[in-house]
Structure 1
Amino acid sequence: MDEILRFLLTTPPQPGALQSLEDWWRQHLGLASRFPVTVDLALAGGFLADRLGFAFASGYHAALRSLFTGMPPDHRAALCATEAGGAHPSAIQTRLSGGDGGGPLRLSGSKGFVTLGTAAETLFVVATEGQDEQGRNRLRVVMIDAHREGVHFTSLPPMPFVPEVPHAELELREVAVSPDEVLPGDGYTRYLKPFRTVEDCHVHAAFLGWVLQVARRSGWPERVQDEALALAVAIRGLALAEPTSPAVHVALGGVLELCQRFVRGLEEWWPQVDAQTRELWERDKALLGVAGKARARRREVARQRLAGGSGSEG
């Protein structure tokens, strides 16, 4: 932990202007070799970002590296889960078929919202193999090259916040898959479900790294800087814990509430920040409220499970 703390406290808080996603990626890759612990990479990437959008990109990509340890280290990646009915296991219609009697595996279907979209080089696609005896989807995750034949992206309009991060729809038309590209384990319990927690930890770590840089650069009081650092340390600890643990979910919910209070308490300090950074913050801060209802539900279910119940996230 000492190295990332020293980085956050001693690195000059003067981020270079990142003009494009390619600029962000070069910077992110440079940090990846220095910080092998993914949450430290998220913190460092956030600190060096010149805006919240690129901090988010570092947090998102670091989360993928944390969960998918076999992904190519120099490829931008994307998790492809959300479909017309959402990302709940029952909503997944993209199908992994074939393989019977040694025949080829094929991946077919569509995804409605892929973060990083057309910029991704490696895709982690959540697909169904069919239903089990109870009629529930049997999900797998397949890792494929984004440029493979049958993979088609359609860019979506920029979001009203963090528009620097592209999103796209994805169509898969009988994409050939080799058996070693089908990741081991259940696609929901091993990958999709834990990613919600892993992403929350890494994205908020990147956000706190970015806020600390802004605070140091803008001369905010030391107590404000110390609070951002303390929250970053708390998030870091949870990012290294078991992401499926109900106790971790309860603790994470508490830390994220503290983050929200911290953000509300920053209002008096934003006038000290340069105009461009302040304007981008006003545009992008809605990002922090995305998936708030899902987080609250996850925390509620975790409390029920710790109390001996069998809560379900639905």
Structure 2
Amino acid sequence: MNASVFDFLLTTEPDDAPAGDLATGWARHRARSAGFANSVDRAAIAGFDSAETGSAFLGGYQEALHALIPALAPDDLAAMCATESGGARPSSMTTTVAGDGTVTGTKSFATLGPAATCFVVIAKEGVRADGRSSLRTVLVRASAPGITVTPLPELPFVPEVPHATVEFAAAPGEVLPGDGYADHLKPFRTVEDLHVVAAVLGRLVRVGRQARWPVEPVAQLLAVLAAVRGVSAEDPSSAGAHIALGGVFDMLTRVRAELAPWWDRVDPVVRSRWERDAPVLGVAGKARAARLTTAWRAVDGAE
């Protein structure tokens, strides 16, 4: 019988060993969650073992990237490198990959950039017959020559999450099969949302247990996690999955409102840090809303 993530979150004590650096924490998480085949379950466990929302986010972010890019080594700390000064739309990208796999260009905002061991770079290979950019995904080791990583200032929330500008000057990389946009960048937004929400839910279950919340709010958190697990089994590019994910975020909003009376039981430091970091759930909210609108148009047009 497979291990139950719900039983784990309800009966296991959090791993409160000193965090150490991010690589050490990732290795400890992989050992701790090795019995769980579902990456969303592992993300929830990462959140449960996190003393901060920022570290929960990082656990979900890593599980999302490893689920999407199986070519990553298990111990890799990966950073998605898509955003440039003009945004992350294919038409605005100027970073290029040559025929030998070398990458040239600058990514303006790479989450985990300063600590990454591998960069997942979305780069322009050329122009298709229809005039649109042809994108590929390239794995570039952080130890490769031709890379300059410039840390960015902390954000006002989840300050534990580092970001950087990454410049590639003919940096050697491994070009992955498939289309960089359709197969990797586009689904990553949905895959990331699912794993980060799972991690935040795991973190909130930990808070609820330690503050001795009543069983009802804890059960509601697990119910949202069950919905996340269900959506994660679907094709992340499908319209139905986007619509269901929109429903998950609506459920999470309602549950967070219902939790409000119980935060008085929580340690004041933990409560204040949650209030500081909760905006992470709204990151990329406009893009998510646009994808949801597109998804509804797709299903309405199919009728």
TM-score (normalised: structure 1): 0.92
Say if 1:17 and 1:50, in contact at 8 Å, map to a contact too: no
The aligned counterpart of 1:208 is: 201
The aligned counterpart of 1:50 is: 51
The question of 1:117 aligning with 2:113 is answered: yes
Say if 1:46 and 1:54, in contact at 8 Å, map to a contact too: yes
* CA deviation vs aligned residue, 1:245-290 (integer Å, no higher than 9, x gap): 1001101101111101211222211110112211211211111111
Amino acid at match of 1:84: S
CA distance in 2, matches of 1:90, 1:240: 30
Say if 1:56 and 1:207, in contact at 8 Å, map to a contact too: yes
Say if 1:20 and 1:164, in contact at 8 Å, map to a contact too: no
Residue 14 and residue 267 in structure 1: after superposition, are their counterparts in 2 closer, same or farther (change >3 A)? Answer: farther
How big is the shift at 1:23?
A: 5.2
Paired residue for 1:298, among 271, 274, 291? 291
The aligned counterpart of 1:312 is: none
The aligned counterpart of 1:198 is: 191
Say if 2:33 and 2:45, in contact at 8 Å, map to a contact too: no
How big is the shift at 1:3?
A: 2.1
* CA deviation vs aligned residue, 1:90-136 (integer Å, no higher than 9, x gap): 11110012x3xxxx442100000000011000111000011112211
Give the secondary structure class of the aligned counterpart of 2:9: helix
CA distance in 1, matches of 2:146, 2:91: 24
Give the secondary structure class of the aligned counterpart of 2:45: helix
CA distance in 2, matches of 1:85, 1:206: 30
How big is the shift at 1:20?
A: 4.8
Say if 1:21 and 1:164, in contact at 8 Å, map to a contact too: no
* CA deviation vs aligned residue, 1:46-84 (integer Å, no higher than 9, x gap): 111111001000000000011001210011111100000
The aligned counterpart of 1:106 is: 102
Residue 14 and residue 154 in structure 1: after superposition, are their counterparts in 2 closer, same or farther (change >3 A)? Answer: closer
Give the secondary structure class of the aligned counterpart of 1:74: coil
Paired residue for 2:267, among 254, 267, 274? 274
How big is the shift at 1:14?
A: 6.8
Q: Which moved more, 1:275-284 or 1:61-70?
A: 275-284
The question of 1:170 aligning with 2:166 is answered: yes
How big is the shift at 1:15?
A: 3.9
Residue 271 and residue 14 in structure 1: after superposition, are their counterparts in 2 closer, same or farther (change >3 A)? Answer: farther
Amino acid at match of 1:6: D
Give the secondary structure class of the aligned counterpart of 2:273: helix
CA distance in 2, matches of 1:235, 1:59: 13
Say if 1:13 and 1:214, in contact at 8 Å, map to a contact too: no
CA distance in 2, matches of 1:141, 1:223: 44
Give the secondary structure class of the aligned counterpart of 1:267: helix
CA distance in 1, matches of 2:12, 2:186: 35
TM-score (normalised: structure 2): 0.95
- What do you get for the CA RMSD once the two structures are aligned? 1.5
The question of 1:131 aligning with 2:127 is answered: yes
Residue 244 and residue 220 in structure 1: after superposition, are their counterparts in 2 closer, same or farther (change >3 A)? Answer: same
After TM superposition, list the pairs within 5 Å mapping 1:14-93 onto structure 2: 15-16=16-17, 18=19, 20-22=21-23, 24-93=25-94
Query: Identity over aligned residues, as a percent?
Result: 44
Give the secondary structure class of the aligned counterpart of 1:118: helix
Count, aligned residues: 301
Give the secondary structure class of the aligned counterpart of 1:134: coil
Structure 1 unaligned segments of length 5 or more: list them.
310-314
The aligned counterpart of 2:244 is: 251
Amino acid at match of 1:235: V
Amino acid at match of 2:284: A
CA distance in 2, matches of 1:35, 1:61: 15
Say if 1:96 and 1:106, in contact at 8 Å, map to a contact too: yes
The aligned counterpart of 1:145 is: 141
CA distance in 2, matches of 1:266, 1:275: 15
CA distance in 1, matches of 2:33, 2:219: 25
